[in-house]
Structures are given as C-alpha cells and as structure tokens.
Amino acid sequence: MKRHLISAADLSRDDALLILDTADELARISDRSIKKLPTLRGRTVVNLFFEDSTRTRISFEAAAKRLSADVINFSAKGSSVSKGESLKDTALTLEAMGADAVVIRHGASGAPHRLAGWVRGSVVNAGDGTHEHPTQALLDAFTMRRRLGSLEGRRVTIVGDILHSRVARSNVLLLSTLGAEVTLVAPPTLLPVSVGSWPCEVSYDLDSMLPKSDVVMMLRVQRERMNAAFFPTEREYSRRYGLDRDRAAKLDDGVIVMHPGPMNRGMEIAAEVADSPRSTIVEQVANGVTTRMAVLYLLLGGADLGGEDQ
C-alpha cells in the first residue's frame, strides 16, 4: 500500500482486497460487541474538514476512536481558515501537532495531493471537490461484496450526476480494479466529455440498463444543477433518471440498490425504494466505519522494515 489514500487509483487489486478482507474481519469483531481496539493507541488522527459533512466526519471519527487513536477535529468554519489562513499554513500547524494521519475533506479538487506534499503523516482523502472519495468507493465495494460475494463480473450501474461526482470517479476506478463491469447512466450534460476514456461503459437510457444490472447505485443530484441548464426540470430528470417504484419493481430479485447519501427522496430515488429490503443505504453507513477502520489501520501500520517476526 502507498502511504496515502488519495485516489482509488492508488490501490492495486491486492491492496483493495486487503482492505476489504481486513474490513471483513473488523466487522466480525464489532459484531461481537467489542467496540474498541487498542491498535492505534498513542497515534493522532486529524479530521480536517473544509466542507460541512457531518456524516463523513463522524464516520472517520468513529473509525479512529474504535482503534483508540486520539482524534482532533479541525473544521474550517469559525477557525483561522475562515480568516484567510492558507491550506499550507494549516498543514504546517498539523505537522507541528504531530498528526500521524490527516483525513481531509476539501472543496477543491486535488487539495489532498497538495497537503500530502506538506505533511509527513498519511493523507486520507475524504472527498475533494469533484475529484474523488476513495473510502466511499471502498465501503460501497465492501457492501456489494457482503451482499453479492465476489465483485468479479458483477454489473454495476451508476446513475446520476457523474460530471460533479467524486463518488462516481472513485467507484469507477475501484470497481474496475476489482473486476466489476461498470456502466454510467446520466443525461449527456452530466457526463465528462472525456468519459469515453474511462474504464466503463456509458448509457443515456436507464430503462435499458436496469435488466442488465446486479447493482444500481443512485447518486445525489443537486437541485442547483438545474439552474445551470444541466437538465430542464426536476420532474423531467426524475422521470428519465429517477429510480421510482415502477422501475424498482422490474428489477430482478437479487439486485441491490445503493446510494451514498444524502438522498433527495422523490428526486433520484423514491422513498419506497430507499426503504426497501434491496436497499443497502443503512448498511453503507455502518460499513463506512468498518472500512475506514481498515484503511486507518493499514495506512498507519509503520514502515516496512522487511523484518521477520517470531
């Protein structure tokens, strides 16, 4: 494994499987109601959140605390950052505090790359702009594996605002590494012009893809995109790309429905579908903690000294 987890592309197939296997074992441990392991005692994990994301921050915080790490939450609001302190100065401050890992959420694509150049600890990307969100992809893959077994050859359809979605980017990279077949479904306005160079298929037609899917992952569509003319109206978007009750009813029995949250119920996904047994939305939250524990454990596991243990 590399020292940082910034992009899903940083993970080889073996790395990804190691994380998922580790998360599996950790899930067994927490099933046995052991909520806390001493593994990262004395290590410091900083949650550096420049964007509001209570869900992701809490998930990382829980993961670090269950491994007994000291957790410092550094949120940009009301801090020196909002008074104009630069990312670099913030990084140097963290460095002085001796952060072993920095979990960063930032509105600018690439901010974790820059941070990694300024701190010694491991950098974990918790979402950067419209770039990536690799731990979300890992928890999604973990969730799929628990429901469906191996991902090899599984057909995953990701639906929604691909252009602005860090979740989609990370999922395409990770799922193709793990041997799944990914198809992106979106109106053409919400796909990058270069999407043809991605390791996945593209379709504009949700109905034609649903019968060919083992997993349907719905992405949040922000209403402000409508104002920028990415689609005409919410109603039209929902009609063409929303997973409503009728569409969900046509899915094969084993097909699972995922959503990284937060959802717009009634927009990209109907409430009945989100709450149905095929929905993994609640599991995804629980799996997020386990997966992030695995990532923190594996990243903070010291240097490879090539030693042999007795």
Q: Which amino acids are annotated catalytic?
A: 55-56, 83, 105, 133
Is residue 310 annotated as involved in ligand binding?
A: no
Is residue 88 annotated as involved in ligand binding?
A: no
Is residue 105 annotated as involved in ligand binding?
A: yes
Site string for other proteins, 191-230 (x = CB under 8 A): -xxxx-xx--------------------------------
The only residue of 3, 10, 15, 29 in contact with other proteins, by rule CB under 8 A: 29
The only residue of 3, 10, 73, 110 in contact with other proteins, by rule CB under 8 A: 110
What strand order describes the sheet that includes 256-258?
201-203, 181-185, 155-159, 215-218, 256-258
Is residue 13 annotated as involved in ligand binding?
A: no
**Residue 80, token pair as written in the block:** 């020196």
Q: How far is the CB of 274 from other proteins (least distance, A)?
A: 27
Site string for other proteins, 43-82 (x = CB under 8 A): ------------------------x---------------
Q: How far is the CB of 247 from other proteins (least distance, A)?
A: 28
Which residues carry a binding-site annotation for carbamoyl phosphate?
55-56, 105, 133, 136, 261-262
Chain residues in the site for other proteins (CB under 8 A): 1, 18, 21-22, 25-26, 28-29, 32, 34, 36-40, 67, 86-88, 106-111, 113-114, 116-117, 128-132, 166, 169, 192-195, 197-198, 297-305, 307-310
